[in-house]
Amino acid sequence: MTITLRDEVQSRKTFAIISHPDAGKTTLTEKLLLFGGAIRDAGTVKARKTGKYATSDWMEIEKQRGISVTSSVMQFDYSGFRVNILDTPGHQDFSEDTYRTLMAVDSAVMIVDSAKGIEDQTIKLFKVCRMRGIPIFTFINKMDRQGKAPLELLAELEEVLGIESYPMNWPIGMGKDFVGIYDRFNNRIEQFKTEGKDRFLSLDEEGELATDHELKDSPLYEQTLEEIMLLSEAGNQFSEERIAKGELTPVFFGSALTTFGVQTFLDAYLKFAPTPQPREASSGEVDPISKDFSGFIFKIQANMNPKHRDRIAFLRICSGKFERGMSVFLSRTGKPINLSSSTGFLADDRNTVNEAVSGDIIGLYDTGNYQIGDTITTSKDMYQFERLPQFTPELFVRVSAKNVMKQKHFHKGIHQLVQEGAIQLFKTVKMEEYFLGAVGQLQFEVFEHRMKNEYNVDVIMERIGSKITRWVEDEKVDENLHSSRSILVKDRYDKYAFLFENEFALRWFNDKNPDVKLYNPMDLR
């Protein structure tokens, strides 16, 4: 039987896991990879996070901090599907990178710590998923510990996030008394402490245990049946259509650490998560099964392997089939490019990819051709996919090289790191000083560290604090409008912007200069 492009694309499931730090993202990812046979040892992903493992050579700072600074991509095959997991850093300072990653996925898995409920970082990430209308699957983790009551957690989902939920399964007890899950979807009970075939107990048509079992005498079982009845009568209806629109989230309970409920979750997730869908582009919708190849770059990372000093552009394929050595156009410039060097992302290794289809993420070795948001395609129309969100930096430093003799390295480093999109560069119009803008303080620390380690330049960074950035709509601006409270700068695309001292300075400026039209890119979304 020949495998068509359609078959291949329909086997792709590409998602990101979103959560607040410590909810269990690393642990769950690892367990999923184990099921897929992509890693052999539990601890591989965790070790990368905590720096016990050589793969973390990727970025020295990840080891020092014990945090995942950059999103990585992991791929595995399971049950006829090819699964791409895009990891997102949990640390809030890296939200730009995380947000862009969410543009490259077709669905998201949200992990909630059962004791903590919905936390800040989850709210932010959830909003981006919501904005894109992608389906969200919820995994409520750590049921082996005492946490909030399950009904309370559902209420939080609805009240804090404003999304309706449908529990696919329901916990029977928790913490020390955790018995397992009542699986509404598969009509069975999955027992926490029982391995092998006895792990699953079937339910009859009334939803009660089909055979005699000691569990029948447990008050926890009684309570579960009552809660299930309540959910059936007063809860939301299951709707595949509403899941696909991101209006209803299927909820799964489990414990990633003890690998409980993880496979049940994965099987249901793969059944209902969407395969790659058509994407909006400047020329209309692009069908993932179209024969023209296309994709967009959502991330650029320099020096992933310090031994090779390479730069990798991460491409999300949106249509057609990638074949190594193919020629494509870079839509922004119209320039033809030969894609001869590419890399796939297996769990703990990188390998050369020869073929990939819509939904897959591949890494392209970059010699400075690409920018974040670039579209590449074999189509002569050279359309562009919708712009990736640009973020308004809030924190600023003035940056210069400590040693003036190192100017060349300084410029090279700064331009490469800025092109990765983790940090934004501005030049003051009057003095030609360099300012860096970021969403969080940690980005400056990573910048400083990488300038030293990868470009051998010590930098001086003077804090100039938080500012309100507003871009100028017009191409021209009166440079005399520059003042210490409204600093006039140009971004790396030579677009004018003002950095205002505070809200008051912004309002004052608007009053005095009604003709200067300012905008905040975050408002345009």
Per CB under 6 A, residues contacting ligand G4P are 19, 21-27, 90, 141-142, 144-145, 255-257
Question: Is 381 one of the annotated binding-site residues?
Answer: no
Question: Is 74 one of the annotated binding-site residues?
Answer: no
- As measured in angstroms, the least distance from the Cβ of 351 to ligand G4P is 25
- As measured in angstroms, the least distance from the Cβ of 67 to ligand G4P is 8
Based on CB atoms, which residue is closest to ligand G4P, 174 or 362?
174
Rg for the chain, CA atoms, rounded: 25
Q: How far is CA 308 from the centre of its chain?
A: 26
Based on CB atoms, which residue is closest to ligand G4P, 67 or 248?
67
Q: Could you identify the residue written with the tokens 């309970």?
A: 253
Question: Is 88 one of the annotated binding-site residues?
Answer: yes
Q: Could you identify the residue written with the tokens 């030293």?
A: 452
Nearest to 86 by CA among 97, 77, 96, 74: 74
Based on CB atoms, which residue is closest to ligand G4P, 178 or 496?
178
Question: Is 133 one of the annotated binding-site residues?
Answer: no
Residue 219: CB atoms within 10 A of its CB come to 9
Q: What is the DSSP string of 310-358?
A: -EEEEEEEEESEEETTEEEEETTTTEEEEE--EEEEETTEEE--SEEET
Based on CB atoms, which residue is closest to ligand G4P, 26 or 379?
26
Look up residue 193 and give its two tokens.
């402490």
- As measured in angstroms, the least distance from the Cβ of 376 to ligand G4P is 32
Q: How far is CA 79 from the centre of its chain?
A: 24
Based on CB atoms, which residue is closest to ligand G4P, 66 or 133?
66
Based on CB atoms, which residue is closest to ligand G4P, 67 or 418?
67
The amino acid that residue 163 corresponds to is: I
Own/partner pairs, 87-91, CB within 8 angstroms, 24+ separation: 87/16, 87/17, 87/25, 87/29, 88/16, 88/17, 88/18, 88/125, 90/19, 90/20, 90/21, 90/22, 90/25, 90/121, 91/21, 91/67, 91/440, 91/442
- As measured in angstroms, the least distance from the Cβ of 144 to ligand G4P is 5
- As measured in angstroms, the least distance from the Cβ of 136 to ligand G4P is 17
Question: Is 97 one of the annotated binding-site residues?
Answer: no
Look up residue 129 and give its two tokens.
């998923």
Question: Is 144 one of the annotated binding-site residues?
Answer: yes
Question: Is 213 one of the annotated binding-site residues?
Answer: no
| Contact predicate 256/28, CB 8 Å | yes
DSSP 254: -
Q: What is the DSSP string of 401-460?
A: ESSGGGHHHHHHHHHHHHHTTSSEEEEETTT--EEEEESSHHHHHHHHHHHHHHH---EE
- As measured in angstroms, the least distance from the Cβ of 105 to ligand G4P is 17
Based on CB atoms, which residue is closest to ligand G4P, 175 or 207?
175
Measured distance CA(68)–CA(106) in Å, rounded: 22
Based on CB atoms, which residue is closest to ligand G4P, 113 or 360?
113
Question: Is 21 one of the annotated binding-site residues?
Answer: yes
Based on CB atoms, which residue is closest to ligand G4P, 29 or 390?
29
- As measured in angstroms, the least distance from the Cβ of 160 to ligand G4P is 19
- As measured in angstroms, the least distance from the Cβ of 113 to ligand G4P is 8
Based on CB atoms, which residue is closest to ligand G4P, 46 or 452?
46
- Overall size of the chain counted in residues: 525
Question: Is 217 one of the annotated binding-site residues?
Answer: no
Q: Is the dihedral of CA 231, 235, 238, 244 positive or negative?
A: negative
- As measured in angstroms, the least distance from the Cβ of 266 to ligand G4P is 15
Question: Is 89 one of the annotated binding-site residues?
Answer: yes
Question: Is 202 one of the annotated binding-site residues?
Answer: no
- As measured in angstroms, the least distance from the Cβ of 514 to ligand G4P is 48
Question: Is 514 one of the annotated binding-site residues?
Answer: no
Each residue of 16-32: b (16+ CB within 10 Å) or e? bbbbbeebbbbbbbbbb
Own/partner pairs, 186-194, CB within 8 angstroms, 24+ separation: 186/264, 189/215, 190/260, 190/261, 190/264, 192/144, 192/255, 192/258, 192/260
Question: Is 411 one of the annotated binding-site residues?
Answer: no
Using alpha carbons only, give the angle 458, 459, 462 rounded to the nearest 5 degrees: 150
List the binding residues: 19-26, 87-91, 141-144
Binding-site residue set for GTP: 19-26, 87-91, 141-144
